[in-house]
Amino acid sequence: MNSACYSSLQKPWRYWPLLLIVGIIGLSVDGFSSAAFAQTVAPEQLNTFVVDESGPDVAEASLLPAPTPQRADYPNIGASSRSIVWVIAQMHLFFGALVLAVPIFVLIIEYIGFKAEDDRYDDMAHEFMKVSLTAYAITALFGGTLALSLFLLYPHLMGYVMRAFGSQVLVYAGLFFLESMLLYVYYYGWNALRYGNRKWIHLTLGLLLNAVGTTLLVVANSWTTFMMAPSGIDPTTGAVIGNIWEIMKGPLWNPLNLHRFIANIAFGGAVVGAYAAFKFLSAKTPAEKAHYDWMGYSSNFIAILAFLPLPFAGYWLMAEIYAYSQQMGILAMGGILAWLFVLQAVLICTILLAGNYYLWTGMARSEGSERYRWLIKYIATALILGFLVWVTPHNVIYTASEIGRLGGGNHPVLAPLGIMPAKNIAVFIMLICTFLSFQLYRRADKVITVSWQSWGNALLVAIYVVAIANVIFAGVYYGYFTNTVYKVGSSVIQVMSTVVVIVSGVVIDTLMFKGAKTLHVTWGKVSNRSQYALFALPIAFTWLMALMGYIRSSVRTHWHVYTVMKDNSPDNFIPTLQTVGNMVTLVTLLFLSFLLFIFWIADLSSTRQVPLPTGSNRARAETAA
Amino acid sequence: MGARTVERRANRVWTWIIAISITLLAFYAMDHLVMSMQGLPLDWDLSPAQ
């Protein structure tokens, strides 16, 4: 037996993740049935079906149409059912996003620390998990409350969804138990499984934790996308005719899976970044400041790196929504909900400005940053211009006198900036500029020594210049001077130009950094102002998630399950923008309040009281007497 | 100005010209490829062929 085989047999735990994934896939593919278990019934049999061998009652139940509840069928508890579910569901989603995302990058950091044999990474990863662990219980509490609220307030809808998904919800519950156990073993076993081969066991536990967590995410996503774009049902009656896999894999499932997966990582990075900022500002010693400065930098790196590809995933989701139902797409981006995209622009620009600002101030940690400082003012100018273009609305409601003065319904100069081609140019240039800030930060503490550095630098600059020119050309020429099909198609050119900048930037820099001299970086040498940028990130992310989550859900309009089960509750209308703004702000403030509580609890767990002097209690009692 | 300095500057100019030319060509090809893959072919001057 060769040594590789022997080594593999010595470490069988390395194959556990593979076995788990195979198991999950096995379960997903017809391993468990939908409650309707109507997979034996073909759609064409729907109207002729009389008796099935499994029993007439069961077979007829499987072909029940979607319920049609009337106004009186909805329980009235004296408050808006929609508002109650809105708040609870959003809180559950916030915390769910946090606790599923943090272990993903914690595992990567832990692995880097293990390979580099650097305990600092391990300590940082462990501390990130402390925040996640504290949030875990709150996630479960909101999840339970959400389930109870839905069954109480929307019993018919929940009955239908349970009929469609059947025993899959029990698999979800089982996975939740598994997730809890793995999470506790992963966190509390950290120091017991810290070095040598034991570390491999710990890393495997982390991988299993993430495999289960991601499965939980995609299972829950299937419920959401079933309500938006149902599959596996008879489109005329809503009767469940598909197996569980056909019900899960609707047209929006994978776009939403990808979008939420990436967004969760960006959100998780932003939240732990705020924790690091909180600890940095309250640190007493230079060592503590250095540790939390480094932690904040790592968090910001994770948040912005995950945020960069997010618009591409969002683009895919929106394109699939349009493809599924043009009415849905137009309502989202051309109807009343389009106004909320202006708010989205403000929030995304806040994230980009805060992320960039943090990088620029962080460059002060290294003396080598002086070489690149002159570029910051140009990046800042591009970001501000992009921001102004992005927030420019197309159709503003004017008074009669304003229309008279303008000479029409649209502003003669600003109106062209209100449509998508201009927004696309702004978005992609802002993303390219943000990546440039990252690249400058990475280069700040290095002196490149490779012989071909002039070629490498020239190629990098050329890629930036040509990519930006290409983004502007595609947006202006195809966006304003050709037909709509080319206008839409040209946005892929803009996506690819941005991707080329990012990928080539990483590749060229990695090659150029070989043998580079590394300058000293002083961690902790950063202004307090930069830490407020770390606070701005999770605030903007939270607001953004609440806002975009509302838009995604609201495109169903007056349907519980789109085109299949009507919403006849008193709340079956799209609320006013003011109501939306208030609700979104309310859930954001609520989440931030809980977050402060979590930070406080995480801090409290590492606080140890100094022992009282012997007899001090007695002495105090005597003094009082 | 020494001959070596002039030569070095000339080399630097050539480096930039070649880098810009290669990049322009690559992006030009990418534009054609991306649009063709979507069934939206372009003419040599990047105007819509349909």
What is the ipTM, given to two decimal places? 0.92
- Judged by CB atoms closer than 8 Å, whether chains meet at B27 and A483 is answered as no
Residue A188 has pLDDT above 50, yes or no: yes
The average pLDDT across A587-602 equals 93
Pick from A478, A360, A462, A370: which is nearest to A419 by CA?
Answer: A478
A484 touches chain B (CB under 8 A): no
Cβ distance of A474 and B24 shorter than 8 Å: no
User: Max alpha carbon distance in chain A (Å)?
Assistant: 92
Contact across the interface for A467 and B27, Cβ inside 8 Å: yes
Which class for A456: exposed (0-12), middle (13-18), buried (19 or more C-beta within 10 A)? Answer: middle
State the pLDDT at residue A595. 93
Closest residue by Cα to residue A494 from A416, A428, A430: A428
- Do B23 and A462 count as a contact with CB atoms less than 8 A apart? yes
Question: Is pLDDT of A17 > 70?
Answer: no
Q: Determine the residue among A454, A464, A498, A507 to mutate to test chain B binding: the one whose Cβ has the most chain B Cβ atoms within 10 Å.
A: A454
Domain boundaries defined on chain B: 1-50
Residue A37: pLDDT band by 50, 70, 90 thresholds? very low
Output the 3-class SS for B3-41: HHHHHHHHHHHHHHHHHHHHHHHHHHHHHHHHHHHCCCC
Residue A23 confidence (pLDDT) above 80: no
Residue with tokens 């508890």: A77
Checking if the pLDDT of A532 tops 50, the result is yes
Name the minimum distance, in Å, from the CA of A584 to any CA of chain B: 38
For residue A245, CA distances in Å to A34, A234, A253, A436, A446 come to: 9, 15, 11, 43, 51
From its phi and psi, is residue A557 left (phi > 0), alpha (psi between -120 and 50) or beta?
A: left
Model confidence at A153: pLDDT above 50: yes
Nearest to B15 among A455, A483, A486 (CB): A455
Mean pLDDT of A14-36: 46
Mean pLDDT of A101-106: 94
For residue A413, what pLDDT band results from cuts at 50, 70 and 90?
confident
Cβ contact (<8 Å) for B19 and A459? yes
Q: Average pLDDT, whole number, for chain A?
A: 87
Q: Are A449 and A519 in contact (CB under 8 A)?
A: no
Are residues B15 and A489, on separate chains, in Cβ contact within 8 Å?
no
Q: What is the dihedral of CA A611, A615, A621, A624, to 10 degrees?
A: -90
- Classify the phi-psi angles of A196: left when phi > 0, otherwise alpha if psi is within -120 to 50, otherwise beta: left
Q: Is the pLDDT of residue A8 over 70?
A: no
β-partners of residue A517 are: A447
The beta-carbon neighbor of B48 closest among A473, A482, A492 is A482
